[in-house]
Amino acid sequence: MTIPFIDLKTQIARVRDDLDRRMAAVVEHGQFILGPEVKALESELAGFSGRSRAIGVSSGSDALLLALMALGVGPGDAVLVPAFTFVAPAEMAVLLGATPVFVDVDPVTFNMDPASAEQAVSELKKRPELRLKAIIAVDLFGVPADFQRLTTLAKEARVVLIEDAAQSFGAERFGRKSCSFGDISCTSFFPAKPLGCLGDGGMCFTDDEEIEAKIRSLLFHGCGEIRYEHVRIGVNGRLDTLQAAALQAKMTIFPDEIEKRNLVADRYRELLAGVKDLIAPQPPEGCTSVWAQYCVLSRDAAHRKALFAALDKEGVPHAIHYPMPLHQQPAYKQYADGPGQFPVSESLCERIFALPMHPYLKEEDQARIAQALKNA
């Protein structure tokens, strides 16, 4: 039997009655746009993550776009982004006419390397045509980035720090929750995320009243105080009421799911200890991951290929997050020097791969996965 890579069916079955009841209530009251469930979810998730303000938006990508728009990012501005991540942070900067400046990542956490970020900040001083405006640190695969050092760096450089928490909602770093770091945090409720809705959705978090007001205006076509008054150029970036209702249902089991994900990760760690030349992930001291992906490292590209053949033979699904660093992507290479510029990101792309990960992964399936890897 094939093992599911993620298992949303089991999750949905757990909350199905509550989900149906909440969705039916929305259909009944009919406030499909910015209905009461959106407000209720915003205050629930603000409280959960330890922020004073949360704004529901249409996706994780739009959360980043709205954050950058609220900060007035545009042509002539530079935005630091990791070279090894999902494309959205760089993409949103470019959409606004800004220049993404790539930064290498840490070989253990896979998150933005503060030393590489410091270097990028000092190199930017030699480029007077660019003004550094923001740093976007991604909490990759569910582990918060090194916000101690990155906050210091952002303060010293007098720029804004954005936490891309699309993969880390619910994670912790030294007792602080994901979505509480930086000036603005952005998350995604894409269905496969640790907290996912039934389509697209996202949220921005901040403690700044002015930023909140700007994002609320921007996501509704730049609306002002009066109906059909538009005080700025905006977009349609609202979170649907039905998606908010679905998220409220999923939140009832989310803390339990985080615990289950961590049990699965602990079991993987034990089982994979016996696989030669395979490095299992370990969140850094003081961090709890939500394991959006369970990514391991092979020795090199040939080793990864051999491991994939062994997994395929056993019907074990696998995926590569990510096969190409952003500075080598056809659409982004114009913003970088070329291969060799970010050696850690380049090496990770050749060696990394993800194994099945979800809260309902059975012990015997994990044993089968580990055995398949050992057989290789």
Ligand X SMILES: Cc1ncc(COP(=O)(O)O)c(C=O)c1O
104 touches 140 (CB < 8 A): no
SS (H, E, C) 223-270: ECCCCCCECCCCCECECEHHHHHHHHHHHCCHHHHHHHHHHHHHHHHH
Q: For ligand X, which stretch binds (CB under 6 A), given 109-117, 161-169, 205-213, 257-265?
A: 161-169
Is residue 325 a contact residue for ligand X (CB under 6 A)? no
Min separation Cβ 66 and ligand X, Å? 12
Task: Please pick, from the candidates 142, 170, 196, 202, the single residue that binds ligand X as defined by CB under 6 A.
Answer: 202
Nearer to ligand X, 85 or 217 (CB): 85
167 binds ligand X (CB under 6 A): yes
Provide the edge-to-edge strand list for the sheet that holds 287-288. 176-177, 172-173, 287-288
Candidates 86, 110, 147, 268: give the one binding ligand X (CB under 6 A).
86
* Cα gap 370→134, rounded to integer Å: 42
Count of residues of this chain found to bind ligand X when the rule CB under 6 A is applied: 14
Is residue 207 within 8 A of residue 51, CB to CB? The reply is yes
- Our finding on whether 88 is near ligand X (CB under 6 A) is yes
Q: Per rule CB under 6 A, is residue 188 in the interface with ligand X?
A: yes
Taking CA 261 as the corner, what is the angle to CA 259 and CA 266, rounded to the nearest 5 degrees? 95
- Cα(326)–Cα(292) distance, integer angstroms: 20
- Residue 296 gets the label, from left (phi > 0), alpha (psi -120 to 50) or beta, of beta
Q: Tell whether residue 59 is a contact of ligand X (CB under 6 A).
A: yes
Residue 166 is a binding residue for ligand X (CB under 6 A): yes
CB-wise, 36 or 199, nearer to ligand X? 199
Residue (165 or 361) nearer to ligand X, CB:
165
**Least distance between ligand X and beta carbon 32 (Å):** 20
Query: Residue 375 has which token pair?
Result: 């057989």
Is 164 a binder of ligand X (CB under 6 A)?
yes
Residue 289 lies near ligand X (rule: CB under 6 A): no
Q: Is residue 85 involved in binding ligand X (CB under 6 A)?
A: yes
As a whole number of angstroms, the distance between CA 196 and CA 205 comes to 17
Contact between 185 and 205 (Cβ < 8 Å): yes
Query: In the complex, which residues of this chain contact ligand X (CB under 6 A)?
Result: 59-61, 85-86, 88, 138, 164, 166-167, 188, 190, 200, 202
